[in-house]
């Protein structure tokens, strides 16, 4: 797989976020990574017009809790999209596999059940170095990518619901 900078994108291709309200939920676990991802997402939402008061930031204990938080927020009429930020680093046990599978399936289920963009900005890496490389390091910031994805998926939703 070609390694790219997650923060390199064409800003003119990102829809205006000014009419949107976006929730960003970040895991507290691995804060040196999740805090950087959160900042990247929030900064990018602001850069693309989402008003400060329409960016709702929440913290949950760990990545596993993202599915419940996303479902709770997605049920609110006042939230247009939810960006989920977490970091799971491979350890010596199978815990990594169980958490990654549960969260990816859980967030998919939330999106389908609520018909809202639920964005998977969860790093699943082998090492802390790999995580830091994707949290503002040499591969950019996955939080930036999550914010752009949220705005593009909201545009997609608008276009899809207006189809004949």
Nearest Cα residue to 150 out of 47, 69, 72, 65: 47
Q: In angstroms, how far is CA 49 from the centroid of its own chain?
A: 17
Q: Is 95 a catalytic residue?
A: yes
Contact 123, 37 (CB under 8 A): yes
Q: Is there a contact between 155 and 14 (Cβ–Cβ < 8 Å)?
A: no
Catalytic pick among 51, 95, 115, 139 = 95
Q: What residues have CB less than 8 Å from 100, skipping those under 6 apart? A: 88, 122, 124
Residues with a catalytic annotation lie at: 95
């Amino acid at each position: 797989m070609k390694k790219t900078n997650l923060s390199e994108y064409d800003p003119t291709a990102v829809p205006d976020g000014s009419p949107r309200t976006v929730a960003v939920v970040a895991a507290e676990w691995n804060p040196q990574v999740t805090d950087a991802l959160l900042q990247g997402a929030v900064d990018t939402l602001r850069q693309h017009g989402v008003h400060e008061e329409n960016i709702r930031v929440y913290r949950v204990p760990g990545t596993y809790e993202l599915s419940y938080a996303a479902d709770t927020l997605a049920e609110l009429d006042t939230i247009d999209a939810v960006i989920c930020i977490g970091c799971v680093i491979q350890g010596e046990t199978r815990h990594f596999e169980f958490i990654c599978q549960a969260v990816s399936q859980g967030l998919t289920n939330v999106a389908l059940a609520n018909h809202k963009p639920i964005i998977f900005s969860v790093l699943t890496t082998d090492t802390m170095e790999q995580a830091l490389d994707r949290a503002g390091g040499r591969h950019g910031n996955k939080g930036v990518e999550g914010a752009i994805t949220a705005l593009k998926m909201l545009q997609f939703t608008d276009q899809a619901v207006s189809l004949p």
